[in-house]
Amino acid sequence: MERATQVPRRARELGIVVGSRETGPLNAITDVAGVRVGHTTLVEGDDIRTGVTAIVPDQLDHRRALPAGLFVGNGHGKMVGSTQLAELGEIETPVLLTATLSTFRVADALVSHMLGRPGWESVQSLNPIVAETNDGYLSDIRARPITAEHVYAALETASAGLPAEGSVGAGTGTGALGFKGGIGTASRKGAVTVGVLVQSNFSGVLRVLGVPFPGRPAEQIGNSCVIVVATDGRFDARQLSRLARRAVFAMGRVGAEFAGGSGDYAIAFSTAAPDGPLLPEAELEPAFAAVLEAVEEALLNSLFMATTTTGFGGHTKIAVSHERVLRALRL
């Protein structure tokens, strides 16, 4: 069963402002033009709390690849396509997130989706990008309930609006920092726009603007985080890898303990037109700061927007109390 103890609200709706930089209009990864997000959420019976989240750059409609970088904070995870991404510095497909043992079915469905697109009839090699965290505490992960139709639905319903956050899509069954985790997003706007989306499922002690909020001790199953960074800045793969590195660093701001059993991955990609000049190295400093702020806020959104969830085996993950946080912060 599901228990709703409070209305989900984003960090800024609660008066919690991370950093000083301007956000995009939606404060979401979809503030990067051409980027859409879709979810399929599976809540079935007492035991299934899982799903799929798709980050879809429309630029792939007319370009077969986008520049991209990868950073692996700790590699105890499954990311299909990671070695080719690191080698060639590009992505060829949308980025999909799901649960650990559903990764491979999702990757297969993503390949089918891409090969079925008009103009792709002669393609003989494709590198799908699918990442995961382990939602086995709240969902029967061995059931592997994700089907191709669930993947297609997430891709086909992807929207440029404000993505749903919290206990949705690939974040339906996740937990982070002793509380119910999930999907979160945020953005920063300056000389370039940076948008991020996170799938939070890692251990540590939650920190909000530096103030600790201990939750339940983490279970051994599922201590991971996937972060997707999109930007309209004209950065190359090496520079994007540096942005991805800062995304993982930002986990420390909210209290991640970077446990040895954690799979902490960040992908950064650019939607900029390929014929423009690369941005100078000096432009990386404000982009670094934008990533750090946006990831911190997205991680908080993933918790504040989550709802208390009971699932597999009667296990429960409790949403962090907004009242408790605001009282401690005196907001």
Q: Is 262 in the active site?
A: yes
Beta strands 48-57 and 35-44: pairing type? antiparallel
**CA torsion sign, 239 to 242 to 246 to 247?**
positive
Q: Taking the model in full, what pTM does it have?
A: 0.97
Give the pLDDT of the chain (331 residues) as one tens digit per residue: 344 569 999 999 999 999 999 999 999 999 999 999 999 999 999 999 999 999 999 999 999 999 999 999 999 999 999 999 999 999 999 999 999 999 999 999 999 999 999 999 999 999 999 999 999 999 999 999 999 999 999 999 999 999 999 999 999 999 999 999 999 999 999 999 999 999 999 999 999 999 999 998 766 655 799 999 999 999 999 999 999 999 999 999 999 999 999 999 999 999 999 998 999 898 899 999 999 999 999 999 999 999 999 999 999 999 999 999 999 998 7
Catalytic residue, from 102, 232, 264, 302: name it.
Answer: 264
Distance CA 30, CA 298 (A): 13
Judge whether 172 and 43 are in contact, CB under 8 Å: yes
Q: Is 264 in the active site?
A: yes
Q: What pLDDT, on the 0 to 100 scale, is given for residue 146?
A: 98
Q: What pLDDT, on the 0 to 100 scale, is given for residue 217?
A: 78
Q: Is 224 in the active site?
A: yes
Nearest to 41 by CA among 126, 164, 125, 195: 164
Judge whether 16 and 208 are in contact, CB under 8 Å: yes
Q: What pLDDT, on the 0 to 100 scale, is given for residue 216?
A: 82
Q: What pLDDT, on the 0 to 100 scale, is given for residue 282?
A: 87
Q: What pLDDT, on the 0 to 100 scale, is given for residue 222?
A: 57
**CA torsion sign, 82 to 86 to 87 to 88?**
positive
Catalytic residue, from 102, 200, 203, 262: name it.
Answer: 262
**Which domains are delineated in the chain?**
12-325 (3.60.70.12)
Integer angstrom CA distances of residue 215 from 44, 176, 179, 208, 297: 27, 9, 6, 13, 19
Q: HSE, CB side, 13 Å, CA atoms: give it for residue 105.
A: 19
Catalytic residue, from 224, 241, 270, 302: name it.
Answer: 224
Q: What DSSP line would sit under 242-306, residue for residue?
A: HHHHHHHHGGGGGTB---TT-EEEEEEEE-S-TTSPPPPGGGHHHHHHHHHHHHHHHHHHHHHT-
